[in-house]
Homo-oligomer: A and B are copies of this chain.
Amino acid sequence: MVDYRVKDVSLAESGKKKIDWAEAHMPVLVSLMRKYEKTRPLAGIKVTGCLHVTKETGVLVRAIKAAGADRISWCGCNPLSTQDDVAASLAANEGIMVYASRGVTAKEYYDDIHSAMKLGPHVTIDDGADLTVEMHKAMSEQQAKKREREIEKERGYNNSGNANPVYGGTEETTTGVIRLKALNKAGKLLYPIIAVNDAETKHDFDNVYGTGQSALDGIIRATNVLLAGKNVVVAGYGHVGKGVARRASGMGANVIVTEVDSIAALKAKMDGYSVMQMVKAAEIGDVFITATGCKDVIVGKDIEKMKDGAILANAGHFNVEISIDALERQGSKKRINDSVEQYKLKSGNRVYLVGEGRLVNLAAAEGHPSEVMDMSFANQLLSVIRLAKSGGTMKPGVYNIDAAQDREIASGKLESMGVSIDSLSPAQQAYLEGFSEGT
């Protein structure tokens, strides 16, 4: 059996059931799996993934394997998001080098990434860019210290000497794409990245519909709070924020949006929400959900104004949006249940933090529903195949996925839902491409 580190491999059967259930809800990815298990375009390719170890990821891994990948290693991309039974099944049933368990420390988290990196992948799959940044650190070191091979060996990373080159990587999140574009802008990106996140069939769907539902799901599972009649403060009105705001409103909440961008703020206002500064919203909010991709969105001066019973949760990638430091400084902490901690403020009020400020849909629920991950992961699979086919010929840079790929995935999804749509006639096509027909 391959090398792995999971919490309890005996959970494999439960994990398999979950992956099977997800597979039954991911028709687009499954149809690609059926197609590529014949042609095996990933034959000879090593793939390392750093992506929430959930049942849907299990299906992606199965698909990569079916497409012929030589070997696959995997690690989590968030300390609280691993489903231990799924990890067990990946190790025991799928033969994946998986290094992940729920509730790791920061050190363990990075150790797992480094363990997965040891595979020396041709292609990386990332979610938040932690793996890619670690890969870059290792590669930079290599370049800097070509002669100091000892250190490198210690670290166990072998993308050197006779190791294969990295053909490229993919990135699943807005946060990761922003980080990698910054890396590229700084001239430090060492291999091409396909921004899967920027596919319309990804960010316009899982960020909006997936997080919209699952972030609230996480909060409800953690607190069983009634959303109807509550003042729900959503920080950030990007794709995730819009999705969360719409669903919170759909559950009967009175939604307040905070923003730093005037255009996004105006859209929120026109969509019927209240818009105000966080420091004002802090006084009236019952539930706070951050979705900005930025840090320090809720800080001490906000927290100290909060009402007794306020609930704080984060739907953004990293646990930097709500200042945990500020909460800790306010006063005593007490665990209410697996997903909720109570902080007693200096004002005497109690506020509740869900999932330690980590992304609430994974920390307190099951992450995005399979139906949306279906499209994201179809994009992932096709992007991995594209990188594999490139054979290392793509230059460093952040690449978009093809519009045609996007449309094909959407078409496959519609078909699986039993929906037929119209198509343009040649005359209509010509009309749209012309300019002569006017009033």
Q: How far is the CA of A276 from the CA of B419 in the complex (A)?
A: 6
Cβ < 8 Å to B, chain A residues 357-415: 365-366, 368-372, 406-408, 410-411, 413-414
Tell me which residues across on chain B come within 8 A of A246, comparing CB atoms.
252
Q: Are A293 and B422 in contact (CB under 8 A)?
A: no
Q: Are B296 and A414 in contact (CB under 8 A)?
A: no
Q: Are A414 and B266 in contact (CB under 8 A)?
A: yes
Q: Are B309 and A270 in contact (CB under 8 A)?
A: no
CB distance from A300 to the nearest CB of B (A): 13
Given known A275-B421, A293-B432, contact A209–B252 (CB-CB < 8 A): yes
CB distance from A101 to the nearest CB of B (A): 15
Q: How far is the CA of A278 from the CA of B439 in the complex (A)?
A: 24
Tell me which residues across on chain B come within 8 A of A417, comparing CB atoms.
229, 269
Lowest 8 A-B CB distances belong to which pairs?
A: A250-B250, A226-B369, A262-B410, A179-B435, A226-B371, A262-B411, A229-B270, A182-B435
Q: How far is the CA of A357 from the CA of B424 in the complex (A)?
A: 20
Does A162 have its Cβ within 8 Å of any Cβ on chain B? no
Q: Taking the full assembly, how many copies of this chain does it contain?
A: 4
CB distance from A338 to the nearest CB of B (A): 10
Among B106, B270, B407, B428, which residue has its beta carbon within 8 angstroms of that of A263? B407
CB distance from A202 to the nearest CB of B (A): 11
Tell me which residues across on chain B come within 8 A of A280, comparing CB atoms.
420
Tell me which residues across on chain B come within 8 A of A273, comparing CB atoms.
254
Does A11 have its Cβ within 8 Å of any Cβ on chain B? no
Q: How far is the CA of A148 from the CA of B271 in the complex (A)?
A: 57
Does A135 have its Cβ within 8 Å of any Cβ on chain B? no
Cβ < 8 Å to B, chain A residues 126-172: 128-130, 133
The segment out of A89-97, A217-225, A325-333 that lies at the interface is: A217-225
Chain B, Cβ-Cβ closest to A269 = B229
Tell me which residues across on chain B come within 8 A of A258, comparing CB atoms.
421-422
Q: Are B272 and A419 in contact (CB under 8 A)?
A: no
Cβ < 8 Å to B, chain A residues 1-58: 17-18, 21, 24-25
Chain B, Cβ-Cβ closest to A180 = B435
CB distance from A98 to the nearest CB of B (A): 18
Q: Are B318 and A277 in contact (CB under 8 A)?
A: no
Could you give 8 example pairs across A and B, Cβ below 8 Å? A178-B432, A179-B438, A205-B267, A213-B252, A226-B371, A258-B421, A280-B420, A307-B418
Q: Are A228 and B253 in contact (CB under 8 A)?
A: no
Does A124 have its Cβ within 8 Å of any Cβ on chain B? no
Tell me which residues across on chain B come within 8 A of A252, comparing CB atoms.
209, 212-213, 246-247, 250, 270-272
Tell me which residues across on chain B come within 8 A of A337, comparing CB atoms.
17-18, 21
Given known A263-B407, A270-B228, A425-B296, contact A251–B254 (CB-CB < 8 A): no
Tell me which residues across on chain B come within 8 A of A369, comparing CB atoms.
224-226
Q: Are A320 and B437 in contact (CB under 8 A)?
A: yes
